[in-house]
């Protein structure tokens, strides 16, 4: 797709996929695909343990099993994952220029293509997955998940395509990239309650230490829009947890149990 760098896409199917040739499965689209499955490819040589966690939780009966689609990032990670719509105002352009000056390394590649990236998932990757695998393609069974900037782009994907994505897992969401634009953006564009489930979390160590103030404001907006805590959304804080794959691996089971847990009978 124009403006995007080439990248690999990983598809993992759970053991149940081969055990029952008639079964269909929810799909989780995850960013930073390099960090999900293979330690040698992961940045810190620590993966999210996605395959292991879904396998255990589904076999134990805590969650529905799911197919995972891991989409690799590129050198333009910041530009791929930075939501574009919040910056489509004069104030937004000014904010973008400020963070450009404060963190020039994030702008080294300079291509802001989040809309194209989400289009890639919706228009190319998802149709191919639905064609080649036994999926449950409806909104209620389509998930998107990531950490840090991957958390931002996960929420952005759901907001831009609420008819495609029903659920989003946003770990250690890097709200400072949006800063004061977070409030007006979510107030204007976040879908109404009742058709989506959202998971947010953050630690209190390292980079995660600055997220709490932003997340509290996001939580207030969710309540104002009618989201019911524990049903439509949850926010979790993990004291001492830092901004690292090991931390996200340690709490992946919590995200999955909220988003993919079996509904009460």
All structural domains of the chain: 9-260 (3.40.50.1820)
Q: What are the strands of the beta sheet with 67-71, ordered from one edge?
A: 9-12, 67-71, 27-30, 142-147, 167-171, 197-203, 233-238
Q: What is the spatial distance between Cα 91 and Cα 75, in angstroms, rounded to a whole number?
A: 27
pLDDT at position 265 is 41
**Which positions of the chain have pLDDT values less than 70?**
106-110, 263-265
Q: Is 13 exposed, middle or buried (0-12, 13-18, 19+ CB in 10 A)?
A: middle
Residue linked to tokens 């973008």: 96
Question: Parallel, antiparallel, or unpaired for β 142-147 and 233-238?
Answer: unpaired
pLDDT at position 19 is 96
pLDDT at position 211 is 98
pLDDT at position 107 is 66
pTM of the model: 0.95
Spatial contact of 26 and 142, defined as CB atoms under 8 Å apart: yes
pLDDT at position 263 is 58
């Amino acid at each position: 797709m124009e403006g995007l760098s080439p990248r690999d896409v990983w598809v993992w199917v759970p053991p149940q996929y081969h055990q029952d040739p008639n079964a269909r499965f929810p799909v989780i689209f995850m960013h930073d695909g390099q960090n999900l499955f293979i330690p040698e490819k992961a940045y810190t040589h620590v993966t999210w343990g996605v395959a292991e966690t879904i396998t255990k939780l589904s076999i134990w009966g805590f969650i529905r099993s799911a197919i995972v689609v891991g989409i690799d990032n590129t050198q333009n990670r910041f530009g791929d994952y930075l939501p574009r719509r919040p910056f489509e105002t004069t104030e937004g352009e000014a904010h973008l220029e400020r963070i450009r000056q404060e963190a020039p390394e994030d702008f080294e590649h300079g291509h802001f293509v989040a809309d194209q990236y989400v289009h890639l998932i919706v228009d190319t990757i998802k149709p191919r997955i639905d064609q080649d695998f036994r999926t449950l393609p409806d909104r209620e069974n389509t998930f998107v998940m990531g950490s840090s900037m991957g958390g931002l782009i996960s929420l952005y994907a759901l907001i831009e395509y609420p008819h495609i994505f029903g659920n989003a897992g946003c770990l250690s969401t890097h709200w400072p990239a949006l800063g004061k634009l977070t409030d007006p953006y979510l107030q204007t564009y976040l879908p109404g309650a009742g058709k989506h489930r959202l998971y947010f979390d953050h630690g209190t160590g390292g980079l995660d230490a600055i997220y709490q103030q932003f997340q509290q404001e996001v939580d207030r907006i969710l309540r104002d829009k009618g989201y019911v805590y524990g049903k439509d959304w949850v926010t979790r804080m993990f004291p001492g947890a830092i901004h690292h794959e090991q931390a996200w691996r340690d709490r992946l089971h919590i995200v999955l149990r909220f988003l993919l847990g079996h509904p009460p009978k």
